[in-house]
Amino acid sequence: MRVGVVQFPGSCDERDAAYALQVVGAEPVLLWHGAADLAGVEAVVLPGGFSYGDYLRTGALARFAPVMGALAAFAQRGGPVLGICNGFQILCEAGLLPGALTRNAGLRFVARPQPVRVAARSTWTAGLEPGDVLTIPVKHGEGRYVHDDPGQLAAGGQVLLRYCEPDGTVTRAANPNGSVAAIAGVTNPAGNVAGLMPHPEHAVDALLGSTDGRRLLGAVLSSVAAGRGGPVAAHL
């Protein structure tokens, strides 16, 4: 399965994402931000970093990159799209995901291993069950998720992950950035577009402390292979 990884000026995790995709059995394809098409890939990852230097606002300039037009059309057709950290910010700025990411509560950069609890099934959590706990690192300064009605998102199955304690309990102390309702990741209504602040590409090797990132990145391979990559896969 060929998975595109978009490169923006200022991206810093595209090589890590490509390596992680190889680990789970995919063929990564680096896609330049100025490209007008997606080179026939079957899924797309927007990696972490500082696209366009985070000028104006995180993700605000990247949303206008030529590749985003092709990405929006791909997502509309049901193509699987995952935004990680800065990629999550870009998808929110582009209107492909609800809500926005703002400065962390406390105004400090946070970097730590972080337990997260799966809250819903989607294209990107195939094989995982709601309630499963993964340990995936976070590293961000603007990861505080905000939304006017998080309850509505949850009711619609759009809350993908929540920050939690190792036993799955959601507490204020476990929330690294002050995100509303401890939300660490969300999806679009169809479930094929997802964004998350934790970095699964940095949790695929036991030497780094966790291999739980494989369970997320590998999920989309089974979804697409089974023909469940489109809107019908949402929240099965």
Using CA atoms, how far apart are residues 90 and 125, in angstroms rounded to an integer?
21
Which H helix or E strand runs over 133? strand 133-140
**pLDDT of amino acid 165:** 98
Q: Is the pLDDT of residue 66 over 80?
A: yes
- In the set 42, 147, 201, 202, the catalytic residue is 201
**pLDDT of amino acid 235:** 28
pLDDT tens digit string along 31-44?
999 999 999 999 99
Q: Is the pLDDT of residue 163 over 70?
A: yes
**pLDDT of amino acid 233:** 32
Structural domains in the chain plus CATH codes: 2-229 (3.40.50.880)
pLDDT tens digit string along 110-162?
999 999 999 998 989 988 999 999 999 999 999 999 999 999 999 999 999 99
Q: Is the pLDDT of residue 1 over 60?
A: yes
**pLDDT of amino acid 56:** 80
- In the set 85, 92, 142, 164, the catalytic residue is 85
- Asked whether 209 and 96 are in contact (CB, 8 A), the reply is no
Q: Is the pLDDT of residue 82 over 90?
A: yes
- In the set 33, 140, 147, 199, the catalytic residue is 199
The overall average pLDDT reported for the chain is 92
68 Cβ neighbours under 8 A, 6+ residues apart: 62, 90, 94
Q: How many CB atoms lie within 10 A of CB 232?
A: 13
Among all chains, which residue has been given the structure tokens 């090797």?
205
Is residue 199 annotated as a catalytic residue, yes or no? yes
In angstroms, the Cα distances linking 144 to 52, 71, 108, 147, 185 are: 20, 25, 11, 10, 11
